[in-house]
Amino acid sequence: MSIQLWFLLLFFLLFHLLLHPCLPLSSAHPLDPLTAAEISTIRRVIQSSHLGASKSLAFHYVGLDEPDKTDVQAWAESATRGRRQRRRAFVVARSGGETHEIVVDVADASVVSDRVYRGSGYPIQTLDELEAAAALPLNYTPFVESARRRGVALSDVVCSPLTAGWFGEPGRGRRRLKLQCCVAGETANFYMRPMEGITVVVDLDEMRIIGYRDRVVVPVPKAEGTDYRAAKQRPPFALETKPGVVVQPAGKGFRIDGHVIRWSNWDFHLSYDARAGLVISLASVYDAQKGARRRVLYRGYVSEVFVPYMDPAEEWYFRTFFDAGEYGFGLWASPLEPMTDCPANAEFMDGYYATQDGEPVKLPNVFCVFERYSGDAAWRHTELGIPGQMIREVRPEVSLVVRMVGALGNYDYVTDWEFKTSGSIKVGVSLTGILEVKGTPYTHTDQITTDVHGSLLAENTIAVYHDHFVTYYLDLDIDGLNNTFIKSKLKTARVADGGDVPRRSYWTVTREVAKMEADARVEIGSVPAELLIVNPNKKTKMGNHVGYRLITNGAPAASLLSDDDYPQMRASYGKKQVWVTPYNKSEKWAAGLYVDNSRGDDNLAAWSLRNRAIENVDIVVWHTVGFHHIPYQEDFPLMPMLSSGFELRPSNFFEINPLIRLRPTKHTHLPNCTLIV
């Protein structure tokens, strides 16, 4: 090879590198979750820092340090696509009894900042410390004695870690946990066999039991009838149904490109976070009429799940869980089972989280994505009004579902994001799994004469009343960044007496623009109203502000706790189902960044008290889907799905029904199916 040729080759190589300065990152999206390799780098970087010397170094949260919204938006709009993306991680670690907030530059493998957090509250507990805490009673003499008193074999005992809450204790408090010990033995459903009457308090930093009381011995419910595993079931079996499978003769209609999913008129980014679980970003819808992709949701995820129980007994009063902030909704996500958790036509994605030691762990099948053919129509009409004609037009509905299941100990939360070709996003949350029950001497309701704070579901088994409040973070950017929240209130009006018509009343609509945060705290159902998020800078041709509206798909529920009660102070946003705040990068978690032992000083309601302007700025809508749960016997030993949710529906967003110009499905290509035996 000649020298000239060498130079030419070198020139081409340099040219290529200049054009694509970070070629290996070209497919990366700025919001992609941390990879296993990145998590390993972060661990190495922090362990090489001054913190590495600490024996107590523990990683409590490792996640993407979200780039600035303007940068992400610029990238998404291609202005900076191809340019090297900043790639930073946000790490919450504990060391020497202190909470560190560390920002790591992943590409540079360096610590950008390390700040000690001195406010109230503690980070998400690590799975490792929960596991260690749960094992403590088995070697704790007083507990061994308690087990003996109850005739329970230690080898059958399973203890569950319960966050202890905050009940007015002064100072910063210790990182405490309480344990609920149960008896497994013949059953996998140990939750149904509590060793009632015992309080075990664990100091998590010291990892030892610091409080213990065996207040009262209550019969442990029997194992019989509690197991839910197929292998343990005996006749009579439930009647079966015939199998049915969705087949897609022309293949799947969506494409997963890294973490970006493209399907029909929707584009969005799907990411895993140990705290939030499933995160949808940059969801935009293609408007065929305009020939343009239009922004809808910058970011949406479960921000908090507040689950207060309603029994004031010593062993129960503190059970007021914050599943995202105390446990990590994503950390407890369950690998989804193909064919059952998601249908045969689903695709799956994995997630990665960091252990207490900072090591990456793969969560296989943490999400599934599938097209749903519900058998419903998207729109239809039969017209018989034109003499001599019979017109019928029907367009079947197809949607795309993205699913994650957070299996937080006993409960399983199925969280769905369903994208519809109509432009709607339907968010579903379904509860299943196992109730928390309380041991009781009662074996029949006839024996009960006082308030037992729950339902007697089996002998010695009371399922305690409780709530679930799933709060969604919805950073809507309807057709652009600056949006306004509007309550369209329906009000009865009188027809003037003595007018031309005998009608006496009608309702009309009063639009109330929420100018300040105080205007946007809504208890749904208190007055008839529609709740809209509009872009006041964009109008349809007719002059209507483009927007979306929030529709609840279940009866709304709000917290019934007293305002002066500690769990209510911590979840003080729980009495309104809707809040709107101006976008603030630091306001991500409805109950605050540090929820364990929190006091409500850094939560949604606290931020909202500043009463900032929210008109025509970048706003975030917070919506809580609530369930008051009075248990019934069908919930034993494992409850059937109970569902609720909401819909974000285009409302003057499109000029017309976007599916009118959908060509009807042709049925000439039906599948011919045979059994594979």
Point out the residues that are catalytic. 323, 411
Q: Based on CB atoms, which residue is closest to its own copies, 480 or 556?
A: 556
Site for its own copies in 323-362 (CB under 8 A): 334-335, 337, 339-346
Site for its own copies in 530-569 (CB under 8 A): 530, 539-540, 542-544, 549, 551-557, 560-562, 564-568
Taking CB under 8 A as the rule, does residue 118 contact its own copies? no
Taking CB under 8 A as the rule, does residue 170 contact its own copies? no
Min. distance of Cβ 430 from its own copies in angstroms?
7
CA quadruple 152, 155, 157, 163: dihedral sign: positive
| Tokens of residue 378, six digits | 């998207």
Residue 326 phi, psi (nearest 5): -95, -35
Binding mask 250-269 for its own copies (x = CB under 8 A): xxxx---------xxx----
| Tokens of residue 321, six digits | 């869980």
Distance, CA of 120 to CA of 415 (rounded, Å)? 30
Min. distance of Cβ 566 from its own copies in angstroms?
7
Q: Based on CB atoms, which residue is closest to its own copies, 155 or 586?
A: 155
Q: Based on CB atoms, which residue is closest to its own copies, 65 or 647?
A: 647
Q: Based on CB atoms, which residue is closest to its own copies, 86 or 252?
A: 252
Q: Do 62 and 39 form a contact (C-beta atoms < 8 A)?
A: yes
- Tell me the one-letter amino acid at 170: P
Binding mask 473-492 for its own copies (x = CB under 8 A): ---------------x-xxx
Min. distance of Cβ 508 from its own copies in angstroms?
5
Half-sphere exposure of 229 (CA within 13 A, CB side): 9
Site for its own copies in 398-437 (CB under 8 A): 398, 401, 405, 407, 409, 412, 414, 421-424, 430, 432-434
Q: How many CB atoms are closer than 10 A to CB 55?
A: 7
User: 357 pairs with which residues across the strands?
Assistant: none
Q: How many CB atoms are closer than 10 A to CB 597?
A: 20
Site for its own copies in 456-475 (CB under 8 A): 456-459, 465
Q: Look at strands 266-273 and 277-287 and give their pairing.
A: antiparallel
Taking CB under 8 A as the rule, does residue 115 contact its own copies? no
Min. distance of Cβ 447 from its own copies in angstroms?
8
Looking at 158, 201, 516, 617, which residue binds its own copies (CB under 8 A)? 158
Closest CA to 650 of 382, 404, 289: 289
Taking CB under 8 A as the rule, does residue 2 contact its own copies? no
Strands (E), 557-602: 578-582
Looking at 244, 449, 498, 585, which residue binds its own copies (CB under 8 A)? 244
Taking CB under 8 A as the rule, does residue 141 contact its own copies? no
Q: Based on CB atoms, which residue is closest to its own copies, 34 or 342?
A: 342
**If residue 268 lies in a helix (H) or strand (E), which one and from where to where?**
strand 266-273
| Tokens of residue 671, six digits | 């599948």
Site for its own copies in 76-95 (CB under 8 A): none
Half-sphere exposure of 139 (CA within 13 A, CB side): 8
Min. distance of Cβ 568 from its own copies in angstroms?
7
Taking CB under 8 A as the rule, does residue 497 contact its own copies? no
Min. distance of Cβ 31 from its own copies in angstroms?
24
Q: Based on CB atoms, which residue is closest to its own copies, 13 or 495?
A: 495
- Tell me the one-letter amino acid at 457: L
Distance, CA of 72 to CA of 336 (rounded, Å)? 30
Q: Based on CB atoms, which residue is closest to its own copies, 108 or 393?
A: 393
Contacts of 127 (CB under 8 A, 6+ apart): 331, 355, 356
Closest CA to 181 of 169, 170, 193, 189: 193
Q: Based on CB atoms, which residue is closest to its own copies, 222 or 453?
A: 453
Taking CB under 8 A as the rule, does residue 441 contact its own copies? no
Q: Based on CB atoms, which residue is closest to its own copies, 370 or 473?
A: 370
Residue 262 CB burial class (10 angstroms; 0-12, 13-18, ≥19): middle
Closest CA to 610 of 510, 545, 542, 518: 518
Taking CB under 8 A as the rule, does residue 676 contact its own copies? yes
Looking at 1, 5, 18, 239, which residue binds its own copies (CB under 8 A)? 239
Residues in the chain: 677
Q: Do 354 and 274 form a contact (C-beta atoms < 8 A)?
A: yes
| Tokens of residue 90, six digits | 């946000």
Looking at 181, 198, 260, 638, which residue binds its own copies (CB under 8 A)? 638
Half-sphere exposure of 612 (CA within 13 A, CB side): 17
Taking CB under 8 A as the rule, does residue 19 contact its own copies? no
Q: Do 334 and 412 form a contact (C-beta atoms < 8 A)?
A: yes
Taking CB under 8 A as the rule, does residue 37 contact its own copies? no
Binding mask 612-631 for its own copies (x = CB under 8 A): ----------------x-x-
Taking CB under 8 A as the rule, does residue 499 contact its own copies? yes
Taking CB under 8 A as the rule, does residue 154 contact its own copies? no
Q: Do 402 and 369 form a contact (C-beta atoms < 8 A)?
A: yes
Taking CB under 8 A as the rule, does residue 292 contact its own copies? no
Using the contact rule CB under 8 A, the part of the chain among 66-74, 295-303, 321-329, 454-462 near its own copies is 454-462
DSSP state of 521: -
| Tokens of residue 664, six digits | 């009807």
Q: Based on CB atoms, which residue is closest to its own copies, 7 or 507?
A: 507
Distance, CA of 440 to CA of 443 (rounded, Å)? 8
Contacts of 428 (CB under 8 A, 6+ apart): 414, 415, 416, 418, 553, 643, 644, 645
Q: Based on CB atoms, which residue is closest to its own copies, 89 or 427?
A: 427
Distance, CA of 275 to CA of 303 (rounded, Å)? 8
| Tokens of residue 573, six digits | 């946003």
Size of the site for its own copies (CB under 8 A): 195
Taking CB under 8 A as the rule, does residue 610 contact its own copies? no
Taking CB under 8 A as the rule, does residue 311 contact its own copies? yes
Min. distance of Cβ 59 from its own copies in angstroms?
19
Looking at 24, 170, 171, 236, which residue binds its own copies (CB under 8 A)? 236
Taking CB under 8 A as the rule, does residue 498 contact its own copies? no
